[in-house]
Amino acid sequence: MNDDREKISTWSGTESKCREDERIDDLQRNGYCIIQKKNGFCFGMDAVLLSGFAQVYQNESVIDLGTGTGIIPILLKIKTEGKHFTGLEIQEQFADMAARSVRLNGMEDRVEIVTGDIREASRLFGKASFDVVTSNPPYMDDSHGLKNPDTQKAIARHEVLCTLEDVCREAALLLKPGGRFYVVHRPRRLVEIISVLKSHKLEPKRMKLVHPFVDKEANMVLIEAVRGGRSMMRVEAPVIVYQAPGVYSEEIYTIYGY
């Protein structure tokens, strides 16, 4: 029997298939949880911050491009009054894991995980099909950093299977007029990000920088862009992740829902 064999794990009285190389993590929100790899790519602070930054209103439809473990549609379903949430993921193993997390949390009526390529998203779902698009895309292009030898991590962190251009183009095509695109990325690529967004008629409207400590430079940026919006952007107060080493700030606890 190999390492990919399945076992039955129990979480809050619910049975779900969790493989030997996986674990079930508590999201610390009303008993919700998520399946992740024991020794592989797991969701990070950037995904949690994006779920707190994104605004989803009642009856809106949302798609998350490159959903990975499915953390963003799951958190947005928990936090908002959106009508339906879709996660698109090209890696079948992660899409399967995300789908099992959806079933584990009993969210099948409002959350769907689809296996597919971001570059084909508008063809898969149709143009102008969503009110909101979110994405935590690969941060590194060929000029930034060494690629991780782990293929799954390399795809998540480097522009191996899609580029920033691909993500922004498909987000623009998927959005209804006036729809909102939420993305988290690295500040060092901010000029490029804004240029690519505007080239696809996605007008940046809100921006928030994220600093690990109050005296450290920003290492993440959150941006809201509106399809066909007018030119005016609000730079919001920054997020400070830690108030002391190992101690989250009050804002982070609020975003997590503690």
How far apart, in whole angstroms, are the C-alpha atoms of residue 234 and residue 215? 23
How far apart, in whole angstroms, are the C-alpha atoms of residue 72 and residue 100? 15
The pLDDT score that the predictor gives to residue 258 is 58
Instruction: Evaluate whether residue 234 is within a structural domain.
Output: yes
Instruction: Evaluate whether residue 9 is within a structural domain.
Output: no
How far apart, in whole angstroms, are the C-alpha atoms of residue 22 and residue 97? 9
The pLDDT score that the predictor gives to residue 79 is 93
Instruction: Evaluate whether residue 23 is within a structural domain.
Output: no
Instruction: Evaluate whether residue 5 is within a structural domain.
Output: no
The pLDDT score that the predictor gives to residue 161 is 66
The pLDDT score that the predictor gives to residue 140 is 56
The CATH number linked to 127 is 3.40.50.150
How far apart, in whole angstroms, are the C-alpha atoms of residue 78 and residue 220? 24
What range defines the domain where residue 140 resides? 42-256
Domain count, the chain: 1
Q: Whole-model pTM?
A: 0.87
Helix %, strand %, coil % of the chain (to 5): 30, 35, 40
* 91 closest CA partner among 20, 40, 144, 130: 40
Instruction: Evaluate whether residue 6 is within a structural domain.
Output: no
Instruction: Evaluate whether residue 35 is within a structural domain.
Output: no
Helix (H) or strand (E) segment spanning residue 217? none
How far apart, in whole angstroms, are the C-alpha atoms of residue 212 and residue 99? 32
The pLDDT score that the predictor gives to residue 16 is 53
Instruction: Evaluate whether residue 191 is within a structural domain.
Output: yes
pLDDT in tens, the chain (258 residues): 333 333 333 334 344 578 888 999 988 888 899 999 888 778 889 999 999 999 999 999 999 999 999 999 999 999 999 999 999 999 999 999 999 999 999 999 999 999 999 999 999 999 999 999 999 998 656 555 544 444 444 444 434 468 999 999 999 999 999 999 999 999 999 999 999 999 999 999 999 999 999 999 999 999 999 999 999 999 999 999 999 999 999 999 888 775
Instruction: Evaluate whether residue 34 is within a structural domain.
Output: no
